Amino acid sequence: MPNYANAGNSFLGSTAFVNPFAPDVAPDIIGKAAFDPGWGHYEVFGIARFFNDNTFGCVESPVTTVGPPAQTEGLCSATTALTLVPGQQSQRTKSGDGIGGSVQLPFTKYVDVVASTLYGSGIGRYGSSLLPDVVVAPDGSLSPIKALHALGGVVVHPWAGLDIYSYAGIEKEQPDYWSIVSTGSIKGLTGFGVPTAINTGCNITTAASFTGGTSNCAAINKSVTEVTVGFWQDFYKGNFGRVAGGFQWAYIGRQSFPGVGVPAGTVGSPGGAASVSTSDNVFMTTLRWYPF
């Protein structure tokens, strides 16, 4: 089986730790075409990504289970891993890709409508929520996660110097997991968004909430949504530059994949498989002077 926890050297960090990494085989490739036919602005774009990992193989150690004979349950021998011959490795590159588009439509001189979307595999970190790009597959390779990003908004200009805007968006990923098979039977699930994730500790404050210990709250992110409203106003524009200010309110929501043992007070029935969700309100103000 693969042992994908081998660490590289520490040139990317301090000498106090080492960083697991594999060099990129190619940079992300992005292409975009823009159109201005006379009314509105239109764009189509695509992205190609390359996820590379380098793993050493190791021999599974027998683990005694209930009843004979002893079975191998996917554990690697530490001794074997340390004595691997250099070169006994497997380098795999998996590709990710995405396609999307955007529009900006001036319905009147007072109202603009904007929208954009991006769909593909391995594009999570191209969204503002920085959702995962890939998950480690059972064979040690990287499996790109399918995702969707969508945004829509309206900008109103009631008079010169004032912009009032409202946007709504979502970033959402699909589950990507596998069954663990040992001696002919399914032992469990592994991967991203597994429905067997333990969520019994979600929405419960324990000592682990402060120490970073086991909290029994996997709550694997499925989607992040946001609605925001704000304005930007010019207060002064003249020989001494420009003074502008604004205010913005945002409502941010997060929802997890369904898990096991959701406590009372969350979405779904207690003790059943359901999603864990949370939200937050953010208020921001700004005042800026542009002297030039």
State how far the Cα of 84 lies from the Cα of 82, in Å rounded to an integer: 6
Average pLDDT over residues 78-102: 74
State how far the Cα of 268 lies from the Cα of 275, in Å rounded to an integer: 7
Say what the pLDDT of residue 86 is: 53
State how far the Cα of 141 lies from the Cα of 139, in Å rounded to an integer: 6
Tokens 């027998």 belong to residue? 62
Residue of 99, 98, 91, 153 lying closest to 122 (CA atoms):
98
21-54 pLDDT, tens digit each: 556 788 999 999 999 999 999 999 999 999 988 7
**Which residues, including other chains, have CB under 8 Å from residue 273's CB and lie 6 or more apart?**
195, 258, 259, 260, 262
176-224 pLDDT, tens digit each: 988 876 555 556 788 899 888 888 778 777 776 677 666 778 888 999 9
State how far the Cα of 95 lies from the Cα of 159, in Å rounded to an integer: 48
State how far the Cα of 83 lies from the Cα of 58, in Å rounded to an integer: 10
